A and B are shown apart, each in its own frame.
Chain A
Amino acid sequence: KQEVTQIPAALSVPEGENLVLNCSFTDSAIYNLQWFRQDPGKGLTSLLLIQSSQREQTSGRLNASLDKSSGRSTLYIAASQPGDSATYLCAVRLYSSASKIIFGSGTRLSIRP
């Protein structure tokens, strides 16, 4: 059974710092991995999608990497801003099921001005 874990569960850093969020999964047979952002009481916003054949994706100050063999992905946020405060979720799409994706438990990020 695929399990997705995110560490740390919560993180608070001062504005301007670079930071890394971690996501690990137990079964490397994934089709892709997606990073989402969720603001309190809101839906999910897709940040980056990495296919299983890719190693990384970049969008602005965000960079996501994928090491499928070790079951790990990282989301790197450069020059953090208070507006980056949110919960970040990673999710893996399984090969074993046509459409299911499994979510991690999320990292609650707080950027202090």
Chain B
Amino acid sequence: GAVVSQHPSWVICKSGTSVKIECRSLDFQATTMFWYRQFPKQSLMLMATSNEGSKATYEQGVEKDKFLINHASLTLSTLTVTSAHPEDSSFYICSADVGGGRDYGYTFGSGTRLTVV
């Protein structure tokens, strides 16, 4: 149980285009989902917290107009990288709160490798 499905697993796009990444909770409802970015051999950095039915909360230094987050339902959150640049190339991972509370930890998607050329 408690599976988070993330798609696509990898994507290559041209500079200036936009890319959408989906994160779905398959067997539970996720009021809150989280988006992380990871550079090679580095840890995960929280980008934003996505709340169903409301605006996402972005971490300091993350451009909300560049990284658009939509959490339209209890099972789906999307991250759209707009006007992508090569420096946006990274590994993006989503996660969701399991069990609706603090007692059960997080479960993570399998990640999306974005390469902007």
Contacts and interface: CB of A to CB of B under 8 A. Distances in A.
Interface in A42-80: 42-46, 49, 51
Interface string B83-117: 00000000101010100001111111111010000
B interface residue count range (under 10 / 10 to 19 / 20 to 34 / 35 or more): 20 to 34
Nearest to B10: A41
A44 B93 contact: yes
Interface residues of A, number: 23
A43 B102 contact: no
A45 B105 CA distance: 11
A25 to B, nearest CB: 13
A51 B95 CA distance: 19
A99 B105 CA distance: 10
B105 A49 contact: yes
A46 B109 CA distance: 11
Given A99-B32, A99-B34, A105-B43, A32 B105 contact: yes
Given A32-B105, A34-B105, A49-B104, A43 B111 contact: yes
B42 A46 contact: no
B46 A100 contact: yes
Given A89-B44, A105-B42, A46 B110 contact: no
Contact of B43 (A41, A89, A99): A89
14 contacts: A31-B102, A41-B111, A42-B111, A43-B108, A44-B44, A46-B106, A46-B108, A49-B105, A51-B103, A91-B106, A93-B102, A99-B102, A101-B46, A103-B44
Interface of A: 31-32, 34, 36, 41-46, 49, 51, 89, 91, 93, 99-101, 103-106, 108
